[in-house]
Structure 1
Amino acid sequence: MRDAPETVPARRDRRRIREEGRRRRQRALWIGAAVAVVALLAVGGAVTAAMLGSQGGTTAAPAETAQPEPIVFPSDEPAPTPGTEPCTTVRALSSFENAEMVSTLAEAYNAEPRNVDGSCVTVVATKDKSGIAAEEAAVGFTELPEDERPTLWIPDASSWLGIAREAGGSANVPEEGESIGSSDIVLAMPEELASAIGWDEEPPTWADVFATADDEEVWNDLDHPEWGEFKLGKTSPLVASSGEAAMLASYGAAAGSVAELSADDIADDEITDEVRQHELATSHYMATPEHFLWHARQAEDKGGSAADFLSAVIVDEKSVWDYNRGITSRDGVTRIESEPPAEQLVPIYPTDGFYVADNPAVVLTGAWVDEAEAAAAEDFLRFATTEEGQAIVRETGYRDLNRELDPGVASVGALAETPRGGLAFPEPTVVVAMHEAFPDVRKRANVLFLVDVSGSMGDRISTGATKLEAAKAAISQALDHFADGDHVGLAAFSEVDANPLAPGEVSAVDDIADTRDRFEAALAKLQPIEWTPLYEAVDTFAKQQGDDYDPDRINAIVLLSDGRNETEAPSTTSAQMIATLEDLHHTTPVLVFTLAYGADADVKTLQSISSATGAHYYDATDPTEIDEVLGDLVTSF
C-alpha cells in the first residue's frame, strides 16, 4: 500500500530545497575560498582530544594555537626470555574496520618473547561490528564462556565506549580509552564525480553535501545525466562509526554547527524534520563501509562505473586506501585482493569539520578479567605505542599518535597530509540521543519478506528445529527492527498442483504498526510444500514491488531460499528474471537482499540476484546462524 499522492505544497517544498542546493553550488564557485578560510578558523585542526580518547564534545582549537610537540615513540623492550607457560591469554576485540591493524599488532607482539609477572603472553585478536560489540560489552559478554570473553576492547571510535556504559556497562567498560591511532571519517567520491562537482578543489560543508544529495537534478545540471540521481551511501549508525558520523553530521548541519552539536539540538523538532528530509536521499543503510565499496567495485568490474552504485559514501580514510589499492570485502570478514580500480576514490574533508575515529583501547574491568590478564593487556598496549607498534599503525592505513601517515598509504589513498577540522565524537549523552532518535528519522522501508517453503525447508538442523521453524523465529525477531510507518509484508513460494507460486502473498505490504499481528499469524501458518520456483517468485514479486515503488522509501525484497530453482512445469528462466531486475533497477529500483539458507542453497544465483539490484547477499549456509545473519541484514533499513 502506498502513501497518498504528494501534495502541491510538498512538491513546492521539494523544488525549493533543490533550488537552494543549486544556488549553494553556484555560490561555492566564487566564495568557496572565503568559506574555507572562515571554516578553518572556526574549527581549526586540533584532534588531540580525539587522539586521547576524550568523550568531550570537542570544538577545535583556533588556527593560531601552538601545535603540541611530536611524540617521540620509545623502542619496544621484549623480555630476554619468555615467561613460563601456560601463557596468559589476552583476547583483543576490535571492530571490523580496524581489525587488520589490531591483528597485525598482535602478530608482531606475539613474535617476540614476553614476560609479564613471570608468565609468557599470547594476544588473540577477534572482531565484531562496533554496535554489536557495544551491546555485548554492556551486559558483560554473557553469551560467551568466561574464558572466551575479551580482555581488551579496541572499537574504532570512542563513541562506542559511551554507548556501552550508558547501556549499563559501567561495571565492565572504563570511561576513557588510550588511542593507538586514528582515521578521519570523510566523504569519498569516485574521482570523476568529485571533479565534476568541484569538491576535489573546494570541499563543501556538510550542509552542502546533504542539500546536494537531495537535489534530483544535480548531475543533469552538471551535464552528466548518465550518473542518475545523487546516491549517498551511509552505514547504519547503530552498527558502524561511519554511520554515527554521518548522522551526527546531518544533525549538526541542520543545527548550524557540527562542532557544537548538543543533545538539545537532537531533540529539537525543526532540526529533526530537516534531518528526516536528509535521510530521504539515502539509497539504503549497510552494516559496514566495505559493503558499499564492494558494490562500487562490482559495478566497475561488470563494465559499468562505480557511479552506477554510488555518488558518494561516508567512510573512514583507511577504507578509501583499501579500495584504491584493490582490496574489497563482501561481508567485512573475507577480503578480496585484485588490481586497483580504474576509478579511484577521492577523500573529501568537509570544511565545517569531520569526525575522527580514534581507536581507543580499554582493558575491560569485568569480573572475568583477572590481574594477570589485565597486566598482560597493559603490556600489549605499551607495545602499540612504541616505535615498532606505531610503524604498524601507519603501515596498516592509520594515522599514528602524531597524526602522521605512511607516505605510501597517503599516496594511494589520496589522503590529506594535515587535514584541518578533525573533531572528537561528542560526549555520550549526545551520541545516545542520536541513537535513540535514529528509528524516528531514518528513511522508511517498503519491504517484502519472500520465503522459500519448498519441501526441504522441513529438514531438521542441529538445534532440532526444522529449517522453516528456525527461519520463522528469525523473521519474527527481525520485525523488532522496524518502526511505525515502515511498510512490511510477507509472501512465500513453492509449486504444487499446477499452482506456480503457492501460497503467494500471505500478508500485504502495509504499515507494520497496523499489520504485525496479521503478519505473524500468516508467518506461523507457513508449512513446507514441494518444488522451488525461485526464478518465478523473484520475477513476480519484484514486479509487484516495482509497481508499488515509492521514491521516499527503501523499496526492497528480503529473499530467503535453501535450494535451487526446481519446477514441475516450465516457468520463468534465470535470464528472464535477471532482465526484469535490471530493467527495474533503471526505473523503479527494487533492492533484492538475498539470504542463502543451508548448505544446498544456490549461492551463485542468489549472489547474481542481489548484485543485479545493488543489494547485498548474506550467508546463512550454516542455518544455526540465521538469527544473527537476518539481524545483520535488516540494518539495511
Structure 2
Amino acid sequence: MRSRLRGAGAAAAATALVLVVAGSWVGYRKLAGSSCSGRIELSVTAAPEIQPAIKATADKWVADGAAVDKTCVAVTVTAAEPVDVAAAVASKHGVTLSGVGQASGTTVTPDVWVPDSSTWLLRLKSGGATAFAPANSASIARSPVVLAMPEPVATRFGWPDKKLTWTDLLRQVTSSKPLRAGIVEPTQDAAGLSGLLALSAAASGTGRAGSPQAQEATIGALRQLATNRSSLRQDLLARFPRSSDPSAIAAGLSAAALSEEDVLAYNSTKPPVPLAALYLDPAPMPLDYPFAVLPGIEPVKASAAKVLFEALSTAHFRNRLATQSLRGPDGSWGEGFQAPHGAPSPASGGTSAPVGQGGTAGLDPATIEKATSTWSVVTQSGRMLAVIDVSGSMRSKVAAANGATRLQVTVAAANQGLQLFDDSWSIGLWTFSTNLDGPLDYRQIVPIKPLSSNRNALRQGLASVKPSNGNTGLYDTMLAAYKKVQEDWEPGKVNSIVLFTDGKNEDDNGITHKELLAQLKKLRDPEQPIQVIIIGIGNDVSKAELEPITAITGGRPFVTADPTKIGEIFLQAIALRPPASR
C-alpha cells in the first residue's frame, strides 16, 4: 500500500478553509442555506496522498452547512490505492485490465473517484468498459513524474546543472554495466506507467517504429527494469541506499520513475541519503488527479459533487495541496510548497498543462494498452502451445498486408511475438486442418520445451508452416491440445493454449461442439488451470462458437476482421493471463 512518509499533512488538514465570495465559490453560497433538511450522502475515494487535502476541504464545507437545494450534504472522503478502485470499477463493468487482477471485494466504488492519474480512466474505457463515462474528470492537482536518484549518484550524472533525457537513461539502463534502475509495477502504478511510456518512446527512437532495432531496445530496457521491479511503492523506496557508505550506495537502487510528491515525502523522513528529483526531457506524463464523478449516481449527488469540485478549485485548496507536497492543476504551487532542487519554475510552462484537461490530453489509449501489454509479456514467464490453422482458407490474400496470405500474416505475428519471450518460457507449435497427419486433424511441429533450447527449432518450425487443402478441424484439435498441455502441466507458470483460426469447425468426422464442451468440463482441473485463448481471423469466425469453449477453460476469444491486427491482439491476449498457479 502506498502510504505517506511524513505527518505534516495531518496538522495542515486541521487548518480552516477561508471562504471567499468570488469566482466559482459563489456557486456554493447560492446552493447552501442557513438551514437544511434531509440528507445527501456523497462518498469520495481519493489517492492516499491527496485524501487529507480533500477531506479537510470537504469537512469545512459540511461544517459550514453544506446543502444542495435545502438538502443537507454529508461527505465521506476515504483513501484507497487507485489500482484497488480500478479493479472494483473494472469488475463492475465486466472488463479486465492488464496486470491489475481481480477486485478484492473490500473496495467499494464511490460516487466520486480521485485517482492519481487520468490514465486509470483511459484504461478502463479502452479496456471495454463502454458504459464507463465519468462526468467532469478535470484535474484538481498535479505532481510531475521525475527520475528519483540518490544524490551521490545524481551528482555523477551532472545533477543539478546538466539536463538529462530519457534517451540518456535508456543508454545507461542497457549498457554493459547497467544502472540499477527499478520501477513500481507499471500496470498497477501511474508513475511507473508514465516512466515506462517515456522510456519506451526513447527506445522507439533508436530505429524506425516497429523495427527490430526498436523492439530489441525496448525489450532490453524492460527486462533490466524488471530485475528491480516491485508491486509496492514502499518496497521500492526501501531499496534505495540507507547508508552513505559508498558500498551501500553501489549496492542500492540507483534510479526509479516516481512522482515529485514521492521524492519530497521520502526526503521529509531525513534519510541518510536523500533523493534527487531529475526532470528529464521530454517531460513525462504527470500525475493529474482527475475529479471523476462516476456514472450512475443520483442527480442530487451529482449536484453536490459539482459544488465540492468548486471548493477544490480555490487558492485555499491549492495551499492545502502544498502541505501534501502537491501542486495545483496548472503546475503552480501554493504557500509553503518546498520545490525540489532543480525543479522547473511553473512560470516556465515546463510543468503546466491546460486546466481541466489533465495530464493525458492527446494521449492515445492504444499507446497505453501496447505499453502495458508489452511489459506484461516481456516480464512474465509461461508455458504455451501455439496452434495455427493451415486449412485452405488461410491462403486468402490480405489486401492490407500487401497481398500476403492470412497464414503468412499469422506466422509473421507469431515470429514477432517469439522475440518478446525470454528463455524461461516453454513454447511448442502445432498446425491443424483436417486429416493433416493421417486421420488426425493436427500435427506437432515443435514439442513444448524451454526456449533456452527450443528457440531456433521454433523459428525453423514457423518457417516450415504451409497451407493445406483441408478444412478446419477445430474441435478435435482443441481437445487434443488441451490434453497435451494438461499432460505435462507445470506449476509456477501460466499454462496456456493460443489457437489461431480463420473459420468455423468443418470436420464432419470429428466430435461435435456439444461433445467438445462436455469433455473439456470433465478434463478441467481447478488445481491445474489451462487458459485457452482463441484468435479468430476474418469474417467467417463465429464468436458464439468460441465463447463457450473459453468460458469452460478460462481465457477469451479475440476476433478481428483485419488479419493485420493479430499481432496487437496476440499481445493483449497474453497480457491478460491470470496469475500463475503454484
Task: Give the TM-score range, shorter chain.
Answer: 0.5 to 0.7
Alignment of 1:163-178 (within 5 A): 163-174=123-134, 177-178=137-138
**Residue 260 of structure 2 corresponds to which residue in structure 1?**
317
Whole-Å Cα distance in 1 between the matches of residues 143 and 421 of structure 2? 36
User: Is residue 173–residue 362 contact of structure 1 (8 Å, CA) maintained in 2?
Assistant: no
Q: Summarize the Cα distance change of 1:319–1:108 in structure 2 as closer, same or farther, 3 Å threshold.
A: farther
Structure 1 equivalent of residue 66 of structure 2: 114
Aligned partners of 2:150, 2:127: CA distance in 1, in Å? 38
Residue 361 of structure 1, aligned match among 269, 284, 291: 291
**CA shift for structure 1 position 238:** 0.8
**Equivalent pair of 2:195/2:284 in contact (CA under 8 Å):** no
Query: Structure 1 residue 178: deviation in Å?
Result: 0.7
For the residue of structure 1 that corresponds to 2:144, the secondary structure is strand
For residue 364 of structure 1, what is the amino acid of its counterpart?
Answer: L
Counterparts of residues 207-606 of structure 1 (less than 5 Å): 207-217=167-177, 230-256=179-205, 265=209, 269-282=212-225, 283-296=227-240, 299-300=242-243, 305=248, 308-326=251-269, 340-366=270-296, 369-406=297-334, 408-411=336-339, 415-418=343-346, 421-422=350-351, 424-425=359-360, 426-442=363-379, 485=422, 487=424
Corresponding residue to 2:85 among 133, 150, 155: 133
Aligned in 2, Cα 1:413/1:239: closer, same or farther, shift over 3 Å? farther
Instruction: Decide whether the 8 Å contact of 1:320 with 1:413 is kept in 2.
Output: no
The partner residue of 1:158 within 118, 122, 141 is: 118
C-alpha distance 279-168 of structure 1, shift in aligned 2 (>3 A): closer
Instruction: Give yes or no for contact 2:48–2:79 (8 Å, CA) kept in 1.
Output: yes
1:323 corresponds to which letter in structure 2? Y
Structure 1 residue 408: deviation in Å? 3.8
Counterparts of 1:372 and 1:416, CA distance in 2: 42
Q: Normalising to structure 2: TM-score of the pair?
A: 0.55
Deviations 1:116-169 (A, max 9, x none): 122222222234433443343234378799995310111111111111111232
Determine the C-alpha separation between the residues in 1 that align with 2:327 and 2:421: 42
Q: CA deviation at 1:114?
A: 0.3
Name the amino acid aligned to 2:72: C
**Structure 1 CA distance for aligned equivalents of residues 272 and 295 of structure 2:** 47
Once the two structures are TM-superposed, the CA of residue 360 in structure 1 deviates from its matched residue by 1.0
Root mean square deviation of aligned Cα: 4.1
Normalised by the length of structure 1, the TM-score is 0.50
Q: SS of the counterpart of 1:181?
A: coil
Distance 1:175 1:114, change over 3 A: closer
Distance 1:304 1:350, change over 3 A: same
SS in 2 for 1:187: strand
Gaps of 5+ in 2: 1-21, 95-102, 354-358, 384-419, 427-448, 455-483, 494-575
1:338-396 CA-to-partner distances (Å, cap 9, x unmatched) read xx123221111112222211111111113xx1112221122211111123222222222
Query: 2:222, 2:375 within 8 Å by CA — same for their partners in 1?
Result: no
How many equivalent pairs are there?
367
Answer yes or no: is 1:188 the counterpart of 2:132: no
Q: Deviations over 1:175-198 (max 9, x none)?
A: 761110111001011111111221
What is the letter of the counterpart of residue 47 of structure 2? S
The whole-number CA distance in structure 2 between the counterparts of 1:347 and 1:370 is: 43
Contact 2:174 / 2:221 at 8 angstroms: preserved in 1? yes
Q: Deviations over 1:229-281 (max 9, x none)?
A: 62112111210111211211122102239xxx9xx94x555422211111232
1:538-564 per-position Cα deviation (integer Å, ceiling 9, x unaligned): xxxxxxxxxxxxxxxxxxxxxxxxxxx
Verify the 8 A CA contact 1:289 1:319 in the aligned structure 2: no
Judge conservation of contact 1:130–1:156 (CA < 8 Å) in 2. Answer: yes
- Aligned-pair identity in percent equals 20
| Runs (5+) with no aligned partner, structure 1 | 1-71, 218-228, 327-339, 447-482, 490-508, 524-630
Cα pair distance change 1:268/1:170, threshold 3 Å: farther
Which whole-Å CA distance do the structure 2 matches of 1:195 and 1:371 have between them?
A: 55
Task: State the partner residue of 2:540.
Answer: none
**Rounded Cα–Cα distance in structure 2 between residues aligned with 1:445 and 1:521:** 10
Q: Work out which of the two has the higher radius of gyration on C-alpha atoms and give 1 or 2.
A: 2
